[in-house]
Amino acid sequence: MKKTLLVIMAVLFGLNAMAQTEGGIKVRRPKYVTLGYVLQQDVTLASGEVIKPEFGAMLNRGRTFYLHKKPIANFLNIGIDATWIDMNYAMYKPQTLESALHQAELAVQVGPSFTFTPVKRLQVHLYGRFAPTFALRYDGETVGGNYASMFVAGGNLSFGFFGVGAEYRMGNNMNYKAFNFEKIADKLGGLVGGNGDEPEAMMTRTGEGETAETSPFFGTKNMLEGLRVYVTFRF
């Protein structure tokens, strides 16, 4: 067991050392994978009750495209971050209801970034990104979702390929739409047969102050925002 651990540690340190320098030049490490814990925003139910998340997690992957070949003043790199996929999940369990709420978001992100490399292995990465997002809710019976325009601002500190960071997400005050699967099925049948409802009829909209017949989770607008803390791996 000890030999196995020593071999794994030796391989990791070897990869880290090889990736740090290329002919003595500071390596930028443009690719990143991030795993984190979500301190998600509270959710307001149709009844007015405010619930806090029980658990949250996130995962994303992306790359920084640098706008110049050599670092400015030998330590600053300016680039564009492109996060190809960003997944976010939070679970809520209100005390007054038996059902739990599962909330997930799927997004891409793009925006400017500034990477400071004071020494070969140390990087400070600051960024701001626009994140078009599809948000989804599920309470065990009802599924609903909607589009949200979100913005992300954060930073991380990495030493070699490993780092830690935090970011804050914020978005518009969004109203979820409960999906009407019967109308979706009718729509699909209409596409084949030449008839069917309009696309908007495939969803059931719940306005502010209204209560969806199927779930209290679809009755009020909620702001999508919250803090995420994470570990990052840069390659």
Residue 197 in any domain: the answer is: yes
Predicted TM-score (pTM) of this structure: 0.76
Higher pLDDT, 41 or 108: 108
Least confident of 59-63, 121-125, 183-187, 206-210: 206-210
Where would I find the beta strands (DSSP E) of 93-142?
A: 101-119, 122-138
Nearest to 224 by CA among 141, 132, 95: 132
Identity of the highest mean pLDDT range in 27-36, 97-106, 127-136: 127-136
Q: CB atoms < 10 A from the CB of 230, how many?
A: 20
Residue 51 in any domain: the answer is: yes
Residue 9 in any domain: the answer is: no
Residue 171 in any domain: the answer is: yes
Mean pLDDT computed over 200-222? 55
CA distance 166 to 223: 20
- C-alpha distances (whole Å) from 168 to each of 114, 129, 234 are 17, 11, 20
Mean pLDDT computed over 41-55? 78
Whether pLDDT at 74 is above 50: yes
pLDDT of residue 124: 95
CA distance 192 to 175: 31
Residue 173 in any domain: the answer is: yes
CA distance 17 to 2: 22
Structural domain of 109: 26-234
204 touches 178 (CB < 8 A): yes
Residue 170, C-beta contacts closer than 8 angstroms, at least 6 positions apart: 150, 151, 223, 224, 225
Tell me how many domains the chain contains.
1
Confidence of residue 52 (pLDDT cuts 50, 70, 90): confident
pLDDT of residue 224: 81
Mean pLDDT computed over 201-209? 47
Mean pLDDT computed over 141-160? 92
Residue 97 in any domain: the answer is: yes
Residue 223 in any domain: the answer is: yes
What is the residue-averaged pLDDT of the chain? 79
Helices (H) and strands (E) in the chain, counts: 2, 14
Nearest to 64 by CA among 86, 83, 76, 81: 81
Whether pLDDT at 140 is above 90: no
Residue 179 in any domain: the answer is: yes
User: Where is 50: in which H helix or E strand?
Assistant: strand 50-51
Whether pLDDT at 116 is above 80: yes
pLDDT of residue 212: 42
What is the percent of the chain where pLDDT is above 70? 71
pLDDT of residue 203: 52
Whether pLDDT at 18 is above 50: no
DSSP code at position 208: T
Q: CB atoms < 10 A from the CB of 138, how many?
A: 18
Query: Rounded to the nearest 10 degrees, how much is the dihedral formed by the CA atoms of 215, 221, 225, 231?
Result: 20
pLDDT of residue 195: 53
Half-sphere exposure of 196 (CA within 13 A, CB side): 17
pLDDT of residue 107: 96
147 touches 177 (CB < 8 A): no
Residue 127 is part of a domain; what is its CATH number?
2.40.160.20
Least confident of 77-86, 89-98, 128-137, 186-195: 186-195
Mean pLDDT computed over 123-139? 94
Higher pLDDT, 34 or 174: 34
CA distance 92 to 8: 39
